[in-house]
């Protein structure tokens, strides 16, 4: 399973630094637990993880799910981040659909 960490909603995963890649993300904001966002210099942030579906693309065209990225202390204590949405790979800006991973 490949996990892509997207930090501070403006972070770019290192995996995509050489070509422009597009991923559509759908988040159910009602599933975001209170206390998971944090204040930064330029606003309020939420760290998320994009996780591949175990068996590839699902019947809705989603390539994976989105979950809350918890701090290391909470992960080490056995807590798991809430699943808050789905993502799908759209391809490169030039219309190419090959997945880079």
**For the chain, which residues make up each domain, given as ranges?**
3-92
pLDDT of residue 26: 92
Q: Give me the mean pLDDT over the 29-49 stretch.
A: 91
State how far the Cα of 68 lies from the Cα of 35, in Å rounded to an integer: 11
Helical ranges in the chain per DSSP H:
72-76
Other C-beta atoms closer than 10 Å to the C-beta of 32 total 16
Mean pLDDT of 19-23: 74
| Mean pLDDT along residues 87-98 | 70
pLDDT of residue 71: 86
| Three-class secondary structure of residue 15 per DSSP | helix
Angle at alpha carbon of residue 57, lines to 55 and 59, rounded to 5°: 105
1 — pLDDT class (breaks 50, 70, 90): very low
N residues, the chain: 101
Model pTM above 0.85: no
Task: Give me the chain's average pLDDT, please.
Answer: 80
């Amino acid at each position: 399973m490949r996990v892509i960490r997207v930090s501070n909603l403006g972070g770019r995963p290192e995996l995509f630094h050489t070509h422009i890649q597009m991923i559509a993300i759908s988040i159910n904001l009602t599933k975001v637990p209170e206390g998971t966002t944090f204040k930064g210099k330029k606003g309020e942030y939420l760290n998320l993880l994009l996780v591949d579906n175990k068996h590839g693309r699902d019947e809705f065209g989603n390539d994976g799910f989105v979950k809350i990225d918890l701090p290391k202390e909470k992960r080490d204590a056995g807590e798991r981040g809430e699943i808050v949405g789905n993502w799908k790979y759209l391809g490169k800006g030039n219309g190419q659909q090959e997945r880079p991973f």
